[in-house]
């Protein structure tokens, strides 16, 4: 896979020289090209930004500079990959569509990705409009928090996509086991993990993991993953296809529900000792479940 990244901080991507991504590059699985955006400025100050039309805080990145840079990088890539090759343009922005494991799997099938991480208040919106007519162009966000620029988001996406490429992950782990990957443990969080020693500072490794009984171990791991998901990401449980849950899973959910009810009513009776806490069954098991934060076990 070819990856081009245009930024005013290309040095931000030094981490792509080490570890898994570094090896993927050495093996030629990942072909990453970094570009300094200022190389496409023509003034003595290498200006890439200007004041926003309509006023307001901060500065906006100039369309001309990005236009020249993206055109040049596409030409550069085409010289290497063939005249009809075109990249998928990915622009990180807090107002983008969520970047998920599903999107990572989609990008991993692409032969060529071009990332345009911005700074300041972002890039003049005509750039995405312009390339949206010529390329598959995505504005994506890696999460509901605000970064100072798009570079960190590109690092996250290149690693999430790069580790999915054939030959990158050793066979120790297959991506099929990933959380959020399609399949049995889809949309369940990873459960707890342990290694030697069997006792550490008085903390013991769960007996079942030392049993060598693969069936019980698999069941225990699934139960722990389900409990952790119910506790930390109940909205993911609601997304589980019910047919994928067996009787034991349902029991685990009911148990979790009962414990949650006990805690809720205990909290309620503490809060209002006289109020009759008419506990109603936990939403997780009501059709159309969507967990509200206050429902999550505190
Ligand atoms: C690109 C400029 C900073 C954003 C004014 C702060 C992604 N999940 C994410 N959070 N933040 C970003 C992101 C932030 C960026 C840029 C991505 C370019 N900024 C701006 C608007 C408000 N400053 C992101 N993916």
Q: Is there an atom of ligand 1 within 6 Å of 119 CB?
A: yes
199-203, 236-240, 275-279, 293-297 — which is least confidently predicted? 293-297
Better-scored residue on pLDDT, 199 or 178: 199
Q: Which of 5, 126, 140, 9 is nearest to 70 (CA)?
A: 5
DSSP 3-state of 56: coil
Neighbour tally for 298: CB within 10 Å = 9
92 lines ligand 1 (CB under 6 A): yes
Q: Please state whether the predicted TM-score (pTM) of the whole model is above 0.75.
A: yes
State which ligand 1 atom lies nearest to the alpha carbon of 140.
Answer: 25
Does the beta carbon of 148 sit less than 6 angstroms from any atom of ligand 1? Answer: yes
Between the CA of 170 and the centroid of ligand 1 the distance, in Å, is 33
Tell how far the Cα of 169 is from the centroid of ligand 1, in angstroms.
30
**Probe residue for ligand 1, chosen from 9, 92, 160 as the CB with the greatest number of ligand atoms within 8 Å:** 92
What are the beta bridge partners of residue 60? 50
Cβ(298)–Cβ(267) below 8 Å: yes
Establish whether 177 is a catalytic residue. Answer: no
Average confidence (pLDDT) over 208-228: 95
Residue 296 pLDDT exceeds 50: no
List Cβ<8 Å contacts ≥24 apart for 213-219: 219/248
Q: Could you say which DSSP state residue 222 is in?
A: H
Which helix (H) or strand (E) covers residue 123, if one does? Answer: none
Whether pLDDT at 179 is above 70 = no
Q: Of ligand 1's atoms, which has the minimum distance to the CA of residue 143?
A: 8
């Amino acid at each position: 896979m070819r990856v081009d990244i245009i930024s005013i901080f290309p040095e931000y991507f030094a981490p792509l020289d080490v570890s898994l991504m570094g090896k993927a590059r050495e093996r030629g699985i990942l072909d990453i090209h970094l570009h300094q955006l200022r190389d496409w400025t023509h003034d003595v100050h290498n200006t890439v930004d200007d004041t926003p039309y309509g006023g307001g805080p901060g500065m906006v990145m100039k369309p001309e500079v990005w236009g020249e840079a993206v055109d040049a990088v596409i030409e550069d890539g085409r010289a290497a990959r063939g005249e009809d090759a075109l990249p998928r343009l990915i622009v990180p922005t807090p107002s983008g569509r969520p970047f998920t494991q599903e999107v990572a799997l989609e990008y991993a099938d692409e032969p060529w990705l071009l990332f345009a991480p911005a700074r300041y208040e972002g890039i003049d919106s005509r750039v995405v409009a312009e390339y949206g007519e010529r390329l598959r162009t995505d504005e994506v966000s890696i999460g509901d928090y605000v970064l100072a620029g798009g570079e960190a988001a590109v690092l996250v996406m290149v690693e999430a996509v790069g580790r999915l490429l054939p030959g990158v992950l050793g066979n120790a782990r297959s991506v099929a086991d990933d959380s959020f990957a399609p399949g049995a443990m889809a949309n369940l969080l990873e459960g707890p993990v342990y290694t030697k020693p069997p006792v550490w500072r008085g903390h013991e490794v769960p007996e079942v993991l030392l049993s060598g009984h693969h069936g019980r171990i698999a069941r225990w791991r699934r139960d722990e993953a389900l409990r952790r998901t119910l506790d930390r990401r109940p909205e993911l449980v609601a997304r589980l296809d019910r047919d994928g849950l067996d009787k034991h899973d349902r029991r685990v959910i009911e148990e979790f529900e009962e414990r949650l009810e006990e805690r809720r009513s205990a909290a309620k009776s503490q809060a209002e000792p006289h109020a009759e806490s008419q506990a109603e069954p936990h939403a997780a098991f009501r059709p159309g479940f969507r967990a509200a934060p206050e429902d999550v076990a505190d």
